[in-house]
């Protein structure tokens, strides 16, 4: 629940009254405040419910750690082997930290890999 006076988060007691936690506001009273919702209808905040129930989640395990390809780029790089323009690219720090990253590139068509410094 939120304080109808200042909007601070407040927790209602069993009777439904709230005591604002903001020391400058100090609101004590009922939480049955009606506001306009997003759809334009009136919403009674005293009837609001919350739930802590966890929802199930489906996980897909992708085993592609042996093929680190990166982001697919088009029109940015050309494969020197087959002249195609679809290339996977990612940055890797191969030298010391004060040196720039190395761009690792892999052709989508033929799988040829090369790097740019």
* CA 54 – CA 24 distance, rounded (Å): 36
Statement: the pTM of the whole predicted model exceeds 0.85:
no
Rg from Cα positions in the chain:
29
User: 18: exposed, middle or buried (C-beta count within 10 Å: 0-12, 13-18, 19+)?
Assistant: buried
- Which residues constitute the domain of residue 88? 71-116
φ and ψ of 28, to 5 deg:
-135, 120
Domain count, the chain: 2
List, for residues 18-65, the tens digit of each pLDDT value.
888 888 888 888 766 666 666 777 766 556 666 677 777 787 776 665
Q: In terms of domains, do 77 and 107 share one? A: yes
Q: Is residue 54 part of a domain?
A: no
In terms of phi and psi (left: phi > 0; alpha: psi -120 to 50; beta: otherwise), the region of 70 is left
């Amino acid at each position: 629940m939120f304080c109808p006076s200042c909007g601070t988060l407040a927790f209602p007691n069993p009777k439904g009254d709230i005591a604002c936690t903001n020391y400058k506001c100090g609101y004590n009273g009922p939480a049955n405040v009606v506001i306009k919702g997003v759809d334009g209808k009136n919403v009674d905040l005293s009837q609001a419910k919350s739930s802590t129930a966890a929802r199930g989640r489906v996980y897909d395990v992708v085993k592609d750690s042996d093929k680190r390809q990166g982001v697919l780029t088009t029109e940015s790089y050309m494969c020197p082997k087959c002249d195609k323009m679809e290339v996977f690219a990612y940055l890797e720090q191969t030298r010391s930290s004060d040196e720039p990253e190395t761009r690792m590139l892999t052709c989508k068509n033929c799988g040829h890999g090369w790097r740019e410094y």
